[in-house]
Structure 1
C-alpha cells in the first residue's frame, strides 16, 4: 500500500516534501529561533538600549511576517557558524538558504509597500545588511576583499533601511518600535566574546579607547590637509570627512549618525567616482573608515572586517606621495596589529 506522502503526490500530481524533510526543517527552525531568543538577540543589543524590542516586539512581528522570520533564521544560523567552528560549513549553508528566502520575500513587498510593513521590512533589511557583513567575516572561502565594491555594496544595503526609517519617522503608522529607534545615547557594550578574543577585557577596552583617540588625531591632521587643497573636489572631501568625523567622535556611544557602521550610507556618487579613479584623498578617507570599524571588532559579525578592508586597500599601492607618508605609516602600523 502506498505511503500517505506517495498517495498525496499521486493525487495532486506534484511532488511534496517528505515527512522526514518537513520534520527536519521544523527541528532546524526551532533550533534557530531558540538560538535567537537565548543568544543572538543579546549580540544585537547595546548598553543603554533595552533588549525588549529585540526579544519581544520583533519576534512577535516575525510570527506574522515570513521574510522577517527568514531573516532571523539566517542571522541565527550565521551566529551559530561563529560559535560552532566545527559545524561552520553546515551552519553557513543553512544561513545562506534562509538569507535568500528573506531577500526574495522582502523584494516582493518593497515595490508596493504599505504602512503595516514599514517596521518589519525595516528590521528585516537591517538584519540582511548585518548578515552581508558577517558572511564575509565567516566565509570559509576567505576571498580577498575588493574595497570599492565592498563599500558600494554597504551603501546600497543601507539605503533600504534608511528609506524605511524615514517613512516610519514621518508618522501615520502605529510604531511598535518606539523607544528603540533613534537612540543616539546608546553605547557600545565592548564585551568581547571568549570565542573570538582571549585576554584581558580591561586591556582590550584600553586599546580600543587608545585607537579611538589616534583616529581622531589623524582625522584632524587629514582635515588640515583637505583645507589647504583647492579645486572642484574640495567640497566633496570636506563633506565626506565631516560625516566620518561625526560617525567616529561619539564612540563608544552610537551617536545620532549611526556610528562608523552607518558611514557608507552618507557617501555621494561623486565620492564613489573619486574612489574608483584612485583619488588619494578618497583613499585616505576610506582607510580611516576601515580603521574606525576596528572599534566594533567585539561584534561577532564585524570582527576583523575593518582590518581586512584596510589591508586590501593598501595591497595594490606601490608609491605613496610624500604628503601622505606619515598618515600611511600610522595606518600600516595599526593594520599590522590583529584585532
Structure 2
C-alpha cells in the first residue's frame, strides 16, 4: 500500500485533478472493497517488480501481484452483477486499475519464460470492460469519482493526423471495404466504426501524448461506438483475422506510451510482434497494412 500511495498512483493519473483521488480516495475505498484492494496491491507489486534486482526478487513480486489480481476477479465480477451506489465508485476505479495490470502483466510474465499471451490478456480485459461499461452507463449518476473526465482528450482540438498515419488508417478502412464483404457485411459495419474511433484516438494522442486516447479506444467510451463493441470483442475472442489486424494497429498506438507509463513499457511492441507472427502469412491483400506496422515498429 505504501508503494501505491507514494509512487504507483502517479502512473494512473491523467491530469493533476486526479492526484488526490488516486493517492487518497481510492486507497480509502479499497479498505471497503476487497477486489479494489487486490487490484491496487497487484499493480504496486508489479511496479516494484520492474525495478527489482536481482531478477529472482522481481519474479517474487510479480507472482505476488498476480495472486492479488487473481483473487480480485471473482469478487469483482460479483460486484458487476450487483452494482449499487455503494460499490459503483470502487468498480469504476478497479476497471482502470485492471487496464494497467492487463497491459503490464504479459511483459512481466515473459521474463519467467512462460508462454504469456498479451493478446489473450487484452481480449479478457475487453470482455470485463464491456460488463463494467454497460452497468456504469446505467449508474453514472451515482459515480462521484471524477476520473478520466479531465485533460486534453476531452477538449475540442483539431483531429488532423500526420500524412503517414492518415494514409495507413485510410488504407485499413479501404481494406475493410475490400475484404469484409458478402457474408461479412455486418462485421464490416462493426469494423468501420471501430476503425473510425481508432483514428479519432490517434488524432487525439497526436495533440496530447497522455494515456487517455489509448485507453479510450480500449474502454470504448465513445458513444457512437457502444453498439459495436460487444460484437467486436466476440470477433477478437474468435481470433477473426481482420479484427486482430485492427487490434495490431492499436498496438502501434500503445507503443507510444513507452516512456510515459511504466506499465505500458514494451507492451505495444509485444502485442504487435505477437499478432504480426500470427497474421504475416495470411491474406496477401494485407501486405501494405502489415508493412506499415512492420516499419513503424522496426520488426
TM-score (norm 2): 0.77
Shift of 1:81: 0.7
Closer, same or farther in 2 for the Cα pair 1:263/1:85, shift >3 Å? Answer: farther
Shift of 1:274: 7.7
Structure 1 gaps of 5+ residues are 1-32, 188-210
Structure 2 gaps of 5+ residues are 155-160, 221-228
* SS class of match (2:263): coil
Matched, 1:177 2:127: no
The CA distance in 1 between the partners of 2:237 and 2:3, in whole Å, is 40
Match of 2:100 in 1: 130
Match of 1:100 in 2: 70
Closer, same or farther in 2 for the Cα pair 1:35/1:147, shift >3 Å? Answer: closer
Matched, 1:309 2:293: no
Radius of gyration: which is bigger?
A: 1
The CA distance in 2 between the partners of 1:213 and 1:300, in whole Å, is 29
CA contact (8 A) 2:252 2:268 kept: yes
CA contact (8 A) 2:280 2:290 kept: no
CA contact (8 A) 2:190 2:231 kept: no
The CA distance in 2 between the partners of 1:212 and 1:72, in whole Å, is 37
Match of 1:11 in 2: none
The CA distance in 2 between the partners of 1:262 and 1:100, in whole Å, is 24
The CA distance in 2 between the partners of 1:153 and 1:62, in whole Å, is 23
Matched, 1:334 2:296: yes
Matched, 1:73 2:35: no
The CA distance in 2 between the partners of 1:296 and 1:120, in whole Å, is 26
Closer, same or farther in 2 for the Cα pair 1:50/1:112, shift >3 Å? Answer: closer
Q: How does 1:1-339 map to 2 (within 5 A)?
A: 33-47=1-15, 49-86=17-54, 87-139=57-109, 140-144=111-115, 146=117, 149-169=120-140, 171=141, 173=142, 175-178=143-146, 180-183=147-150, 185=152, 214-227=164-177, 230-231=181-182, 232=185, 233-252=187-206, 258-266=212-220, 267-269=229-231, 272-273=234-235, 276=238, 278-279=240-241, 281-298=242-259, 299-317=261-279, 319=281, 321-336=283-298
Shift of 1:129: 3.5
Shift of 1:226: 3.9
Shift of 1:293: 1.2
The CA distance in 1 between the partners of 2:239 and 2:60, in whole Å, is 40
Closer, same or farther in 2 for the Cα pair 1:65/1:263, shift >3 Å? Answer: same
* SS class of match (1:103): helix
User: Which deviates the most, 242-251 or 310-319?
Assistant: 310-319
Shift of 1:76: 0.8
The CA distance in 2 between the partners of 1:147 and 1:74, in whole Å, is 17
TM-score (norm 1): 0.69
The CA distance in 2 between the partners of 1:160 and 1:102, in whole Å, is 16
* SS class of match (2:87): helix
Alignment RMSD: 3.2
1 or 2, which has the higher helix percentage? Answer: 2
* SS class of match (1:96): helix
Partner deviation per Cα, 1:156-194 (whole Å, 9 max, x = no partner): 13224323432442x1x3x4313x34236259xxxxxxx
The CA distance in 1 between the partners of 2:178 and 2:77, in whole Å, is 46
